[in-house]
Amino acid sequence: MGAKMKIYNTLTKKKEEFIPIEEGKVRMYVCGPTVYNYIHIGNARPIIVFDTVRRYLEYKGYEVNFVSNFTDVDDKIIKKANDEGVSATEISERFIDEYRKDQEGLNVKPATTNPKATEEIDGMIEMIDALIKKGHAYEKNGTVYFRTRSFKDYGKLSKKNIDDLEAGIRIAVSDEKEDPLDFVLWKPKKEGEPYWTSPWSDGRPGWHIECSVMSKKYLGEQIDIHAGGEDLVFPHHENEIAQSEACNGKEFAKYWMHNAFLNIDNKKMSKSEGNFFTVRDISEQYPLQILRFFMLSSHYRSPLNFSRELMEASKNGLERILTATYNLEHLLESAESKELTEEEKNILTEAESLNSKFDMAMDDDFNTADAIAAIFEIVKAANSKITSSNSKELIQKVLDKILKLSDILGLQVKKKEELLDDEIEQLIQDRQNARKGKDFAKADEIRNLLLEKGIILEDTREGVRWKRA
């Protein structure tokens, strides 16, 4: 497995050596999105960060079982469905499809399994039942609550003291709970809501129980890594630990990883402030590879500020790597096979040592910023030292190195075939025709194809304008 890796564990607040439960294998669960809208660029941070963690673990030789759920039943989904007069499933399926498009644009590998909450209700009923039987949960008027104080380690992840928590809660007069700290595992349906039959009521599960159940079903009772954004530490992950450990009697996850938040122009992203961007919004202005590069240019545990200037800097950074690979490919066309000179051997040694620098950065709790810096150093060496008179072998090896390390970060740095102006004009014409014929799917497809090739369209009153990204 190569050198030792360190991961910062929220549970111990320390960087710890990574030792998986089963040698050579990693069981990893990342809390996924609630699918009621397009994902915003804040949501994209954990998606990109934990995909990069997975890619690096695979590069280190681990077989990674990567599970990420879709929360497809929830108040927001139901509200949107009622507003639009369609079923909740129609909303969730629509936004799962849209999620997959963003995922592809961001070059995020598909999960091993993407379970949906609505397809796992039986398992949830089973776990709730087991918790009741063990005395960790109780039913009141069709609602099932987790008996929080029955789990003695409650608060161990978020470092909260249970008595302090209790003191901070306002007690509702009508509260039917035994204790204000108790949280919902199952709740009865309200008018117009989707529901499932259970021993307690026709209703639906609480949010926290789904991850405990899906993680157990697809990865087993104990997993290596559980991850998500830092806002999930409390109460979501704390409650997941309580449910899983109370039910299974074993430590749930060994390493808890959390990314810090993304802000916009140093402010919290919020719809009401008007500083809210979906990944889809950004894709109209930049290829999504640039968003990925931007997210990885700082450490995942540092707050990250999104701004146009930083996106432009990311665009330049990615372009530098792209240009280098393009040039090397070009040099390869005329290069000859010959034995390596001493100088060429030195260049390869330098590339190898920069590869080690990359590995060391990533081994240190996934320091992607330093890893990118190592790629830049290889690019710099290639730009300054490699010419058409070098051997084919050297050029190929340096090119492969840049591609390989970029791929570990999920960055696609091969220059795509450029479209000629005439071809672009023709595609724009085809798109206009598709729109006239109300074939909007085709029109979108053409727009995305152009975007992939770095062509940005702008619909203006005078017609369609385009520019190269």
Judged by CB under 5 A, the stretch of 83-91, 108-116, 211-219, 341-349 that binds Zn ion is 211-219
HSE, CB side, 13 Å, CA atoms: give it for residue 240. 28
Residue 114 beta carbon to ligand AMP: minimum distance, rounded to whole angstroms: 14
Judged by CB under 6 A, the stretch of 37-45, 110-118, 140-148, 331-339 that binds ligand AMP is 37-45
Residue 77 beta carbon to Zn ion: minimum distance, rounded to whole angstroms: 16
Nearer to ligand AMP, 42 or 410 (CB): 42
Residue ranges in 275-304 that form contacts with Zn ion under rule CB under 5 A: none
Residue ranges in 241-300 that form contacts with ligand AMP under rule CB under 6 A: 259, 261-262, 269
CA dihedral 313, 314, 319, 321 (to 10 degrees): 120
Which of Zn ion, ligand AMP, none does residue 136 bind to, with CB < 5 to 8 Å depending on kind? none
| Options 9, 10, 43, 244; binder of ligand AMP; rule CB under 6 A | 43
Nearer to Zn ion, 81 or 253 (CB): 253
Nearer to ligand AMP, 130 or 311 (CB): 311
Which of Zn ion, ligand AMP, none does residue 324 bind to, with CB < 5 to 8 Å depending on kind? none
Residue 321 in tokens: 């790597």
Q: Is 235 in the site for ligand AMP (CB under 6 A)?
A: no
Nearer to Zn ion, 67 or 211 (CB): 211
Q: Is 31 in the site for Zn ion (CB under 5 A)?
A: yes
Q: Is 211 in the site for Zn ion (CB under 5 A)?
A: yes
Q: Is 33 in the site for ligand AMP (CB under 6 A)?
A: yes
Residue 195 in tokens: 């529901």
Residue 211 in tokens: 């991850």
Q: Is 46 in the site for ligand AMP (CB under 6 A)?
A: yes
Residues 6+ apart with CB under 8 A from 169: 180, 181
Which of Zn ion, ligand AMP, none does residue 211 bind to, with CB < 5 to 8 Å depending on kind? Zn ion
| Options 20, 42, 105, 203; binder of ligand AMP; rule CB under 6 A | 42
Residue 232 beta carbon to ligand AMP: minimum distance, rounded to whole angstroms: 5
Which residues contribute to the site for ligand AMP (CB under 6 A)? 31, 33-34, 42-43, 45-46, 228-229, 231-232, 259, 261-262, 269
